[in-house]
Amino acid sequence: MTKKLVLLRHGQSQWNLDNRFTGWVDVDITEQGRAEAQNAGKLMRDEGLMFDVAHTSVLKRAINTQHTALAEMDQLWIPVNKSWRLNERHYGALQGLDKSETTAKYGEAQVKVWRRSYDIPPPTMDENDGGHPRFDRRYSKLDATALPGTESLATTLDRVLPYWHDAIAPQLKAGQTVLVTAHGNSLRALYKYLNNIANDQIVELNIPTGIPLLFELHDNLSVKNFRYLGDPEAAKKAAEAVANQAKSAK
């Protein structure tokens, strides 16, 4: 029996609009983001998807996207699990900075390495910075040593995978249809794992906001096929827009 998993990146956030590095900063979605979430719900409804359970991060841009999409599907009643392990990659000292200004300062090549490479993290946030997660109540019950001051995609995958193995994979193996609403890099990490993408190839992968990515999996959870719902050209253009976010302003 084919297992179904949908990965959904949150709709446009205010800092997506402002072209800032967001990371673990709890920024909400914009009106366009809500429209994207509604459209995601319509696409999933038209696909005939009936979810048994949903997972999201503890950041409101993902939570509100998922809520809006499930409302569009009339599936708000399903169980929802929230985990910090599905948070966006922590962008360290870059969080809050304008992407194009950062590119102008450090160069496009360096910023692309920080944004898209597999194992090179951005500069670390000072642990005494008020924005460090150790000062955030939602992480107060976690071991402080587990809270990052910066992350690469590799370390993001390291924290996402235990949640995959402990929470999501067992549900899929039990025959449940699962929705995961998260962020560009936590979803890139899952995409890399599911599709066994090489470290040097993941740099070119960009996940567009608000477009559901449907995976059909074999019983052992190997990938049978995957595709974005809706217009493939629209998904391609949206991914290209993500790739261009850090280019210097002309």
pLDDT tens sequence across 119-143:
999 999 999 999 999 999 999 999 9
20 annotated to a ligand binding site:
no
DSSP 5-21: EEEEEPPPBHHHHTTB-
How does residue 249 score in pLDDT terms, banded at 50, 70 and 90?
very low
Rg, C-alpha atoms of the chain: 17
What are the Cα distances from residue 28, in Å, to 127, 182, 242? Answer: 24, 13, 18
CB 22 within 8 A of CB 233: no
Is the pLDDT at 15 greater than 60? The verdict is yes
Q: Is 13 annotated as a binding residue?
A: yes
Percent of the chain whose predicted confidence (pLDDT) is above 90: 86
Check if the beta carbon of residue 247 is closer than 8 Å to that of residue 107.
Answer: no
Which amino acid makes up residue 110?
Answer: Q
Alpha-carbon gap, residue 151 to 120, rounded angstroms: 8
Can you tell me the mean pLDDT for 181-197?
97
Q: Which residue type does 89 have?
A: R
What average pLDDT does the segment 64-77 reach? 98
Every domain of the chain and the residues it spans? 3-243
For 42, 64, 68, 137, 232, the CA distances from 33, given in Å and listed in that order, are 14, 9, 10, 26, 19
85 is in an annotated binding site: no
Question: Is 99 flagged in the annotation as binding?
Answer: yes
Strands 53-56 and 213-217: unpaired
- What lies within 8 Å, CB to CB, of 165 at 6+ separation is none
Q: Residue 14, annotated ligand binder? A: yes
**CB of 92 within 8 A of CB of 121?**
yes
Chain segment 198-236, per-residue pLDDT in tens: 998 988 889 999 999 999 999 999 999 999 999 888 888
Q: Which amino acid is at 143?
A: D
Tell me the average pLDDT across 101-110: 93
* Mean pLDDT value of segment 242-246: 67
To the question of whether residue 22 is assigned a binding role by annotation, the answer is: yes
pLDDT at 66: 98
User: Could you give the dihedral angle defined by the CA atoms of residues 198, 227, 33 and 47, in that order, rounded to the nearest 10 degrees?
Assistant: -150
Question: Could you count the other beta carbons within 10 Å of the beta carbon of residue 166?
Answer: 11
How high is the pLDDT of residue 1? 81
Cα gap 10→23, rounded to integer Å: 13
**CA nearest 81: which of 158, 205, 164, 175?**
164
3-class secondary-structure state, position 108: helix
**106 in the Ramachandran plot: left (φ > 0), alpha (ψ -120 to 50) or beta?**
alpha
Give the SS3 label for residue 216.
strand
Q: What does pLDDT average to over the chain?
A: 94
Instruction: Report the catalytic residues.
Output: 10, 88
Q: What is the DSSP letter of 54?
A: E
**pLDDT on residue 247:** 60
* Neighbouring residues of 113: CB distance < 8 A, sequence distance ≥ 6: 120
According to the annotation, is 12 in a ligand binding site?
A: yes
- Which pair of structure tokens corresponds to residue 206? 């960009």
Beta-strand relationship, 213-217 and 223-228: antiparallel
State whether residue 231 is helix, strand or coil: coil
**For the domain bounded by 3-243, which CATH number is listed?**
3.40.50.1240
